[in-house]
Structure 1
Amino acid sequence: MLDEVRRRLRVKHYSLRTERAYVGWIRRYILANGKRHPRDMGGPEVEAFLSDLAVRGNVAASTQNQALSALLFLYREVLGIELPWMESVVRAKRPARVPTVLSRDEVQRVLAAMDGRLGLVAALLYGTGMRLMEGLRLRIKDVDFARNEITVRGGKGGKDRRTVLPRSLAEPLLREVERARVLHQADLAAGLGAVWLPHALSRKYPNAARELGWQYVFPAASRSIDPLDGATRRHHVDDAALSRALKRACRAAGIVKPVSAHTLRHSFATHLLESGYDLRTVQELLGHQDVATTQIYTHVLNRGAGGVLSPLDR
């Protein structure tokens, strides 16, 4: 049954990370109910499983909602069962959180504590506002040095967008492109060199996977086996390596805030608003569907706690 879950997820073009998460939750759900088949279970078992996660597991609301999404996918898409309790299951309410934002000085200190390719990736995430995987999956063809633009392909929600290419990163990125070209030539000489392409483009354009433009700007140092089809390819840099490098840089810079790669994206948006750019422009650069999502950064515009002068200071 889990193989069928994976097949349905791939048919619907879910990401590999989502596939692993959903399969993991479905497996936990089955084991928690004595390995009973999901067809023999329903609303009470689902609600009991989710309640146990919240009460005994003390998981976050987003984790509980992910488990619910996995079980709904199992019943609807895999087993083809529409049960009346599906629409009545209440999702956990996610608490409103203010994003962690670094000051300009803190960003400078963090980036100064990083070097090499990972330092360049971190600078690119801050300078463009891209998400972590958007930056790591960047293809050579999507970097326009003439127009100082980067085209982000297949962002959140499967949407494309354009963002700014920092002029200060143009030369380092050109060096990375040259490094990727050398690695690609070596892969071609070894009879390989085909990169992963989305949505069956490899069948529609058989030669595209070996073209330089489709290669990653930040390729991995070694080849690996694709878990989806078993082919040997050169993937992009591992996201875990960047996360570790970023944590080391924060310790070296003396920053105690909880910093992740997404914090650089938050800082990008906040600093643009501080510089006077309008909310609509920032929304386009970030790729937010609703401007309400971008409004979480307006705490820097003389609103809220940041725009109030304490009576003690008076």
Structure 2
Amino acid sequence: MGIKDRHVKLPQIKRQNKLPVVLSKAEVRTFLKAPIYLKHRLMLGMLYGCGLRSYELCALRLCDVDFDRQTVFVKKQKGKVDRYLPLGKHLARGLKKHIATESPRTFLFNSQVTDNGAPRPITTTGIQWVIKENRGKVNTHKTITAHCLRHTYATHLLEAGLNIISLKELLGHAFIETTLVYLHVANTGSSHKFSPLDTLFE
């Protein structure tokens, strides 16, 4: 017919990312109280209360904590950006007690010292062990990991009214698209999710 065949290209639909597992406030409270030792409670408390990644918690030094300003300085790693995070009065009180009783050197949470006595930070494996030892004490079928606590931190902040731009900065995300996933999880404002079944009997 004199007309060349034309191939129609449809736009590729981006596959939706897997939504994060988020704990309820009651589940978080139970989990944070589960460890016997204060050090372990604080490690879990920092993961949730500051939204830290595991390797960021391992790298925290004593000099990164500012009790006067109640902030924690998280130094950039893996191409991320430096950021200051609010510490909060509960974590501040616990950390002061931890420092007074444990006398950590260099790092906020120390592991075993080296053969020559140099302090070593906790490891991600150590954090995983603490979580594994205590997650069975929470009455839930959800999979609790260090990153689950970070997801929960982000979702709870959104539900408390924090805007998405501020959340992006707190999480240390390079791109806003990474942070937007939490809008699919949080129940906030006009996006509050509910079942229509409940409205039938009001």
3-state DSSP class of the match of 1:122? helix
TM-score normalised over the length of structure 1: 0.54
* 1:218 match: 109
* 1:143 match: 65
* 2:50 match: 128
* 2:175 match: 290
Root-mean-square deviation over aligned CA pairs: 2.6
Higher relative contact order (CA 8 A, sep 6+): 2
* 1:112 match: 33
CA displacement 1:200-241 (0-9 Å, x = unmatched): xxxxxxxxxxxxxxx101111x2236xxxxx86321123223
Equivalents in 1 of 2:19, 2:26: separation in Å?
Answer: 20
Counterparts in 2 of 1:230-245, with a 5 A limit? 233-245=118-130
Identity percentage of aligned residues? 31
Equivalents in 2 of 1:158, 1:232: separation in Å?
Answer: 32
* 1:36 match: none
TM-score normalised over the length of structure 2: 0.81
CA displacement 1:149-187 (0-9 Å, x = unmatched): 111012342421111102111122123333564x64xxx
2:136 is aligned with what amino acid? Answer: R
Equivalents in 1 of 2:129, 2:15: separation in Å?
Answer: 27
* 1:170 match: 92
* 1:271 match: 156
CA contact (8 A) 1:176 1:217 kept: no
CA displacement 1:26-71 (0-9 Å, x = unmatched): xxxxxxxxxxxxxxxxxxxxxxxxxxxxxxxxxxxxxxxxxxxxxx
- My pick for the range that moved more, 106-115 or 294-303, is 294-303
3-state DSSP class of the match of 1:151? strand
In the alignment of these two chains, the number of paired residues is: 185
CA change 1:150–1:266 in 2 (3 A) is same
Instruction: Could you tell me which runs of 5 or more consecutive residues in structure 2 were left unpaired when the two chains were aligned.
Output: 1-13
Equivalents in 2 of 1:176, 1:302: separation in Å?
Answer: 36
Give the structure with the higher percent helix.
1
CA change 1:237–1:94 in 2 (3 A) is farther
1:309 is aligned with what amino acid? Answer: S
